[in-house]
Amino acid sequence: GNSVTQMEGPVTLSEEAFLTINCTYTATGYPSLFWYVQYPGEGLQLLLKATKADDKGSNKGFEATYRKETTSFHLEKGSVQVSDSAVYFCAFITQGGSEKLVFGKGTKLTVNP
Amino acid sequence: DAGVTQSPTHLIKTRGQHVTLRCSPISGHKSVSWYQQVLGQGPQFIFQYYEKEERGRGNFPDRFSARQFPNYSSELNVNALLLGDSALYLCASSLDYYEQYFGPGTRLTVT
């Protein structure tokens, strides 16, 4: 069935460290891929997206590349800041019928000064 | 432009009661989806509505129902509340099928 597997957290980094959060997916059809971020006490914000193979989504210094051959969409940032502390969710959506998002369990990131 | 709004922000209910949650989509968005997020988990799809018609339903019991109004706002209703219904309920609106924008959520606590 459809599912998303994310790297388990929590992840704790020092400011300016390099971040990678791994994400792989199992989907029927050809999905569009997303990263959402959830700050404490808030709803989800769309961070970046990619809709076809080899597309690179980017926003606020975060990047992720749609790898169809490995069914992966890993999130990266070259230099994290304290303000990046949040929970990150990888998700996908497939067309046809209800266009529901399928989410991973989330990865909590804490960045220390 | 205003984002997705949800009301109430928080509420506390007792087992067996009924609850109604409300959502107003971004102006111009005709699709609304509802998700349940249990603490420590990713959101789970409950319903999707487009142009007042139900387009999809997740794996939730019949105690959960929803509707969409002519102005595209939506309500989620949950009957006979159980302790396990305690969660953050998220509403998302979209213009096209795939880019969904979420509201801040309603935190429901069932005691």
Taking one residue from A and the other from B, the number of pairs with CB-CB distance under 8 angstroms is 68
- In terms of residues, how long is chain A? 113
Judged by CB atoms closer than 8 Å, whether chains meet at A42 and B44 is answered as: no
Coil, helix or strand at residue A84: helix
Contact B97, B8 (CB under 8 A): no
The Cα–Cα gap between B33 and B48 comes to 4
**pLDDT-based confidence at A41, cuts 50/70/90?**
confident
CA B61, chain centre distance (Å): 14
Is the sign of the CA dihedral A35, A3, B98, B94 positive or negative? negative
Compute the average pLDDT of residues A38-52: 92
Does A93 touch chain B if contact means CB atoms closer than 8 Å?
yes
Predicted confidence (pLDDT) per residue in B22-76, tens digit: 999 999 999 999 999 999 899 999 999 998 899 889 999 999 999 999 999 999 9
Say if residue A63's pLDDT is above 80. yes
Say if residue A52's pLDDT is above 70. yes
Predicted pLDDT at A98: 63
* Residue listed under structure tokens 């009661």: B17
Across chain B, mean pLDDT equals 94
